Amino acid sequence: MGWGMLVGGLGFSFIHPPWKFQGQWNISSFLAVVFVVIFGTLLAFYCYMESLRYITASEASLLACVEPLSAAFLAVAWLHVSFGPFEWIGSFLIIVTIFILSAVKR
């Protein structure tokens, strides 16, 4: 995954160079980035890795499949984002995938 992110980032840097930043960089934006890095990335990944002490890797990956669906539903409920037909189809496909992956285990 790391190599994929590196190659993709390098490829897209020709389309949208990161050194041509648009916007303001101040203390509040810096603190927001630090918050996302610590709580949204490091702490979340640490909790995921620690969960492997209590559940199997396949169970953890099945639970990770639910994350995009819960994020979408929270965006609709909390941020009042519109939820169109393509989003419903994507949600349905996520649920079907979870059922298929859990049925294969049996």
Averaged pLDDT for residues 41-67: 86
Is residue 102 very low, low, confident or very high in pLDDT (cuts 50, 70, 90)? Answer: confident
Would you state the pLDDT for residue 66?
80
- pLDDT, mean over the chain: 87
Tokens of 4: 């994929």
Residue ranges covered by each domain of the chain? 22-54, 56-106
Are the beta carbons of 98 and 65 closer than 8 angstroms? Answer: yes
Would you state the pLDDT for residue 10?
93
Identify the top-confidence range among 41-50, 57-66, 95-104. 41-50
Tokens of 67: 């994350």
What DSSP state is assigned to residue 38? Answer: I
